[in-house]
Every structure is written in structure tokens, then in C-alpha cells.
Chain A
């Protein structure tokens, strides 16, 4: 039985198809978020990725910022629950999850069954989110995806002291005009994100293992800075960006099993 999970974020749509709640058979990521063609396209892409059609799909569950706007799903759930479930599937030992999304950052504590025990989410502020990195990459004229690799060459990390994205932007410009090496500036930017997010994580309490999910987890510079800030190891799975979609697919599977069981009982009673 195939179920689909779709995570409609503010900048990216992710989708996963699983078979019988245990094997990932399809994956897709498109760089368009809610309010664009992203959701429809990611659905088609994930089907194409494993040669399935919509008729093969038992149930679809949607999560993420755009979860209320997608009509083709059977149900929706919050990204908090879906990330908890998804990370629990790929990193079963994780008890603390850090998820840095396009416009928010979250720290979750989960139990061994992948259920949420507690969470904190940043307030309305771009600092410490993917948006902060986007803005900084824009000023530095580099691709966001390259920030991690470039920062690996840093010799001396510079301090970006302003938390506010707008002020940090002018701070970075002034560093550039002082000819500070771009890799050192990027390392400072990563540390700035890590500091902001670490405050959330500390507020929620750290229980090991700590894992990171979401697209920003692919940025090794941010992960390294988070390790330094939290003084603990952080686990990252290659499917980290898909964790929310995976959780959604797992919830869809649980719901489908429950629905099938109900209709079976009903038939038996007839």
C-alpha cells in the first residue's frame, strides 16, 4: 500500500512515497514553496520518481506552511508532528530535533515512539531561519547551497553581532568593504544562526541524541556551528530535508491502515 506525504514549505516543496509504512520508494524536492506551482509539481515529481500514478496511492497527507491550501490531500497535520515522526523513522535514537525551515526554526523533544513531548518555535523574526541565510547569500553573491562548502575554508570566523537580519545585512556589507575573506564572513553568519537557534533548543531542554532536519541541515557549516553552540554531537541523515514529508507519509499510512481495519470490521459485522 502506497501513501504520500507532502511538505509544502515557504520556499520549497518536498514529497515522499512509502510502501506499507516501511520503505521509501519515491522522493522529490522542488524549489518552489506555497502559493506557487510547487505543490502540484512536487506531487507529480514524486509519482514520476517511482513510476506510480495517482490511482496507486491509498492516501495523501500534507504538512508545512501551505498545508491548508492543497486540495488533493486526504488530511493535513502540523509540521511539528510530521518532523517528529519522520526523524524518528530515519534516526530512531533522536530525542531532540532541530528543524530550521525557510521562515521559522523549531526545537522538538520526542519520545521513543516519535511522539511530540514538547516544542518551541521562534517568534516572527527571520533571524535564525533559512531566510536569514538566503538574504546573506544574496549579498555575498553566492548560492545558498554553497554556503556550507565555502565556510569550510574559513581560517578566522568573524563575529556577526547583529541578530536582526536587516542590521546583520549592513554588518556583512561593512565586513566586505573591509576586505574580510568571504569564507570567514560565512562562518560568522552560520554561527549567528546557530546562536539564535541554540537559545530555542536550550529553552526546550536537550535530550540526546540530537538530530537536525529540514533543508538547512544540509549546510555543514550551520550543523558544525550548532555542534559548537550546543556542545554536543548532532546527527544528520541524508534524507533530513524530507523528514517532514516522510512523517506525513507515515501518518497517511497509519490513517489508511485504521480506515481499512474499520471497513473490514464493518464488513464482518454485516
Chain B
């Protein structure tokens, strides 16, 4: 059995060099399909025997993305465009994109024109989720995604295979949730950076393979003595919390991440696909069960309440809002959730996530000040 550290290092390597995984799968004769954030029905890709691979941009100062994405485009979509335009995603059979905000809409058009060698399959997940027609609409939308995928890749997607893939994904979700729980008993080992490596690596690996590794990690962690964490504990919320240098600032200030509501991390794993007979309907139903996410409309927004519950359940000291630069969706929601959380008696900190710079000095000062503030409140 490998050591916990060896497993985490491997996952960290995958996160730092996702291209290696892409090459590995291509080398095995697999087709790889890029999945833009946030909620892609990856199971369709998986059911076709292909590998869904996350597209989450990366730290890059865009040189040519500006041709299509103005400077005030959220930094994650700018870096995705930059990587697309500079051939970093070469090898993908196609990419899937759900138009969840205006930036995605623009990106879907720009991609079509700018990245000609990787076809894009855009689709829409309906925001009016209370209407009956919404479900019919989404089934039709997913059907057309399925057909386009089959057309482009030549891989057949059967209902039987889809049902099997759904099981693989549900098991993966459960495993990731279990990891999040077990990690909280071992905060000395599972630092903010390590936690992120485990979570993010799921986007670059075939899900059953990732489940296996994370289960091995969970077993390794369970064999270690439980750690009495002496530092402070926070919950992260937002689209992403990266890069590693930023997460290391939490560790340097003796802050552990004991939960997250990040689109790139736990929001991926918290909603299982419900039971049922028809796999396409089941896949669709998952969309209607999602809640507490800035990208999913709810007449009663519950993200604030969910965060407060997470704070209580994990005995955390505060919430860190990781605000993606120029993400208007998150920016609109931030004051509302911050107020709710503060009314519940918990402090919040807002840091800016910007993939276009390596400079974390402002965040360093903010995180240190926040730590000093919560240390004073709850010594």
C-alpha cells in the first residue's frame, strides 16, 4: 500500500500537469472530450467509452485571448480561450459547454471561430426549473448532445452503458464526500493545497480510476492517528480556489480548509443522480436537484444557509469567499451571502481569484489580517 503522501503527490502532479493524463489516455487509444465548467453531463461521454476531461484554464497571462475575450471577461474563461488558441488542448475530440452565464455564451461563439480544430458542443440547462416543460426541454437538449458526441467521435452511447456510467459517477461522488469528511480528522496531512489536489484531480482522470485512488487515500488516512487541529478552520466558497501558492498562505497562517462550496470542487460531488428506469431522465433530474449554486437559479436562494450549516457542522471559524475576477454572477451574490453569514455571527473574508497573475501579495495580507482577527475573537 502506498503512503498517504505518495498518493497526494501523485494527484498533485496530475493537477499540475493535466496534459500528461491527456497524452496517457490518447496513447491508450481513448477519445478525450473537454468539459468546460461547471455542470456537464459527463456520464454521456463516459458511457461512450471516452474520457471526459475538465477545462478549467490555468495560471497564464493571456497574450492572444484578448482577440476574442475582452479584459473584463472572467479570468477563467480568458485562460481557457488562451489555452484553446495556443494549442494546449490539442488532442481533445471536442469540447462540451453549458451556457450558464453570458460569458459562457460569448466563449461558445469565440471558440467556434478561434479554435477551429476542436469542435464545440454548446447546450443550455434551463434556469426556469419549476416549469414542467423544462425537463422535456433538457432531455431533448441532452439527447442532441449525445447525438453530436456520437457523430463527432464515432463512439456509440447506449442506455445500458449510460446506466453503468451513472453508477460510476454516483460512487465517485460518495467517495469524494467521504474523503472530505475523513480529511477533517487529518488536517495536519490534508493541507489546503493537498485537499485541492485530491478534489481537482478528479477532472483529469477517468472517474472509476480516480475513485480507486481516493479510496486508497481514505484507507491510508484512516490508519493515521486523528489530529487535534490547533489552528483555525475555514470553509471556501466560489468558483475555484487556486493556485497552490495562494492555498499555501492559508497553511502558513495555520488555517485549515474543512469544507468547500467551490464550483470546481464540492459542488461537483454533492448532488447524486437519482434512481429511475430511464438513464436519460435520471441524468436530467440531477440538474433539477442542484441547489445553493450561483449559476443555478432558485426562487429561494439557499447558498447562505448552506454555508452557515457547513460552518456549524464543521466547527469552522469563518467563510472565505474566493471571488473569481470579473465573474459578475458571483459578484452579485457575494454581498447577499456575506450579509447572511455575518448576521449568523461568522466572519467572512473575500479574496480575488485571478488566473492572469502570479501575484498573491494582496491575498497574503488579507488572509493574515483575517487570521489575526479571528484569533482575537476566538483565541
Q: Do A and B bind each other?
A: yes
A118 touches B347 (CB 8 A): yes
A115 touches B376 (CB 8 A): yes
Digitize A77-91: 1 where CB-to-B-CB distance is under 8 Å, 0 elsewhere: 111110000000000
* A123 proximity list for chain B (CB < 8 A): 325, 352, 362
Nearest B residue to A120, CB-CB: B350
B352 touches A78 (CB 8 A): no
**Which residue of the partner chain, among B359, B366, B373, contacts A121 with CB atoms under 8 Å?**
B366
Give the shortest distance, in Å, between A62 (CB) and chain B (any CB). 13
A78 touches B362 (CB 8 A): no
| B317 interfacial by beta-carbon distance below 8 Å | no
A81 touches B372 (CB 8 A): yes
What's the Cα separation between A73 and B182 when bound, in Å?
40
* B362 proximity list for chain A (CB < 8 A): 104, 121, 123-124
Chain B residues 109-147 with CB under 8 Å of chain A are none
B350 touches A116 (CB 8 A): no
**Which residue of the partner chain, among A80, A118, A121, contacts B372 with CB atoms under 8 Å?**
A80
| B354 interfacial by beta-carbon distance below 8 Å | yes
* A104 proximity list for chain B (CB < 8 A): 362, 365
Nearest B residue to A124, CB-CB: B362
| B368 interfacial by beta-carbon distance below 8 Å | yes
Nearest B residue to A111, CB-CB: B376
| B86 interfacial by beta-carbon distance below 8 Å | no
Give the shortest distance, in Å, between B131 (CB) and chain A (any CB). 36
B369 touches A119 (CB 8 A): yes
| A132 interfacial by beta-carbon distance below 8 Å | no
Digitize A182-224: 1 where CB-to-B-CB distance is under 8 Å, 0 elsewhere: 0000000000000000000001000000000000000000000
B359 touches A78 (CB 8 A): no
* A118 proximity list for chain B (CB < 8 A): 342, 347, 373
A78 touches B369 (CB 8 A): yes
What's the Cα separation between A79 and B366 when bound, in Å?
10
| B361 interfacial by beta-carbon distance below 8 Å | yes
Give the shortest distance, in Å, between A175 (CB) and chain B (any CB). 25
Q: How big is chain B's contact interface, by range? A: 10 to 19
What's the Cα separation between A80 and B325 when bound, in Å?
23
Interface majority SS on B: helix, strand, loop or mixed?
A: helix
* A124 proximity list for chain B (CB < 8 A): 352, 354, 357, 359, 362
Interface majority SS on A: helix, strand, loop or mixed?
A: mixed
A78-B365, A79-B365 known; A116 vs B359 contact (CB < 8 Å): no
**Which residue of the partner chain, among B335, B352, B357, B372, contacts A116 with CB atoms under 8 Å?**
B372
Digitize B332-375: 1 where CB-to-A-CB distance is under 8 Å, 0 elsewhere: 00010000001000010010101001010110011011001100
**Which residue of the partner chain, among A78, A115, A120, A203, contacts B368 with CB atoms under 8 Å?**
A78
A119 touches B373 (CB 8 A): yes
| A65 interfacial by beta-carbon distance below 8 Å | yes
Give the shortest distance, in Å, between A251 (CB) and chain B (any CB). 10
Q: How big is chain A's contact interface, by range? A: 10 to 19
What's the Cα separation between A184 and B97 when bound, in Å?
51
B365 touches A116 (CB 8 A): no
* B352 proximity list for chain A (CB < 8 A): 123-124
What's the Cα separation between A210 and B335 when bound, in Å?
22
B376 touches A80 (CB 8 A): no
* B342 proximity list for chain A (CB < 8 A): 118
What's the Cα separation between A77 and B377 when bound, in Å?
16
* B347 proximity list for chain A (CB < 8 A): 118
What's the Cα separation between A120 and B359 when bound, in Å?
19
B372 touches A78 (CB 8 A): yes
Give the shortest distance, in Å, between B319 (CB) and chain A (any CB). 13
B354 touches A116 (CB 8 A): no
What's the Cα separation between A66 and B248 when bound, in Å?
19
A80 touches B365 (CB 8 A): yes
Give the shortest distance, in Å, between B367 (CB) and chain A (any CB). 9
Give the shortest distance, in Å, between B222 (CB) and chain A (any CB). 37
A80 touches B354 (CB 8 A): no
* B335 proximity list for chain A (CB < 8 A): 203
Most chain A C-beta atoms within 10 Å of own C-beta, residue among B335, B342, B359, B361: B361
* A81 proximity list for chain B (CB < 8 A): 369, 372-373
Give the shortest distance, in Å, between A11 (CB) and chain B (any CB). 15
B357 touches A80 (CB 8 A): no
A77 touches B354 (CB 8 A): no
What's the Cα separation between A255 and B369 when bound, in Å?
18
What's the Cα separation between A117 and B376 when bound, in Å?
9
Chain A residues 67-114 with CB under 8 Å of chain B are 77-81, 104
What's the Cα separation between A124 and B359 when bound, in Å?
9
Give the shortest distance, in Å, between B168 (CB) and chain A (any CB). 41
Most chain A C-beta atoms within 10 Å of own C-beta, residue among B352, B354, B362: B362
B366 touches A116 (CB 8 A): no
15 pairs across A/B with beta carbons < 8 Å?
Answer: A65-B361, A65-B365, A78-B365, A78-B368, A78-B372, A79-B369, A80-B372, A80-B373, A104-B362, A115-B373, A115-B376, A115-B377, A118-B342, A121-B365, A124-B352
Other contacts beyond A79-B365, A79-B369, A124-B354: 8, CB < 8 A? A65-B365, A77-B372, A78-B369, A81-B372, A104-B365, A116-B372, A118-B342, A123-B362
A residues touching B (Cβ–Cβ < 8 Å)?
65, 77-81, 104, 115-121, 123-124, 203
Closest 5 CB pairs of A and B: A80-B369, A78-B369, A78-B368, A116-B373, A81-B372
